[in-house]
Amino acid sequence: MDSSKSIAAVEEHYLRTTGKKLPHEPKTLKHLTSVLPPVEVDSAGASYNPPISREGTVSSKSIVAVEEHYLRTTGKKLPHEPKTLKHLTSVLPPVEVDSAGASYNPPISSYLHYTAEIAEEEAKKMKEEEKIERSLVLAPGQTFITKHYAAEIAEEEAKKMKEEEKIERSLVLAPGQTFVTKITLLLLEIFCPRIFLFNYIQAQLISGEGIYASGSLTAAAAVAVAAAVAAVAVAVAAVAAAVAAVGSPPSSFA
């Protein structure tokens, strides 16, 4: 259908339906044209968009292509820009792709490797949490102190038992030994220094012999022995007084 016939048909339809003539329109509106000049394409049906490189980098060739496209479509030169803006670089590091035009998304193998690493980390965290939970569980009748300080408590009890055993062994009487003689020996061990005379005095007291039975002592040794015997006598007197005040000694020492 010709354009003039279509315009006449529109006018007749408007006149028939409204009873008025179609308002006058300028001739320029009847033949509308694009504001922009026509774009040249390589072949019929080709894209009007300029070709874009898939390399993802800004080069001088691409800038020239943009300038030519802008000049061809607008009829004007591209506005001047500083050189720093013509070679923009991304803040992010470049992404490695297998080939030009390939997807930037990671392959399924790297995704599975990443998920496996995350699963291993989560499993380790869960094991650590379970270990902490098991360590915090208390047995019936158990407290936090007895659970977490069991080693220290056991060590203190062992030391206490050793001390009690030592005291018991020290209080055991030898055959033919009396309670007073045993206390005397303990006092000698506490107050008298361990010199060469101590063993001799101890042997004399245990055997019941006189301390001067052997005439092999020198004058200096005799003086030391006399001082020791005096101290022992005082200690024995104090023990005897204490025993007399308390009463007879316990049956275990008899």
**Rounded to whole angstroms, how far apart are CA atoms 198 and 219?**
17
Percent residues over pLDDT 90 in the chain: 7
Domains of the chain by residue range: 99-137, 141-171
Does the model's pTM come out above 0.75?
A: no
* Residue linked to tokens 């033919």: 176
**pLDDT above 80: residue 216:** no
Res. 249 pLDDT band, cuts 50 70 90: very low
Separation of CA 131 from chain center? 14
Listed in sequence order, the residues at least 6 apart from 112 whose beta carbon sits closer than 8 Å to its beta carbon are none
Provide the pLDDT for residue 120. Answer: 95
The CA dihedral of 173, 247, 184, 179, to the nearest 10 degrees, is: -20
Res. 142 pLDDT band, cuts 50 70 90: confident
Which one-letter amino acid corresponds to residue 164? Answer: E
**Rounded to whole angstroms, how far apart are CA atoms 254 and 245?**
17
| The length of the chain, given as a count of residues | 254
Are 15 and 21 in contact by the 8 Å Cβ rule? The answer is yes
Provide the pLDDT for residue 53. Answer: 55
Please write the tens of the pLDDT for every residue from 9-46: 778 888 888 888 877 766 666 555 556 666 676 666 66
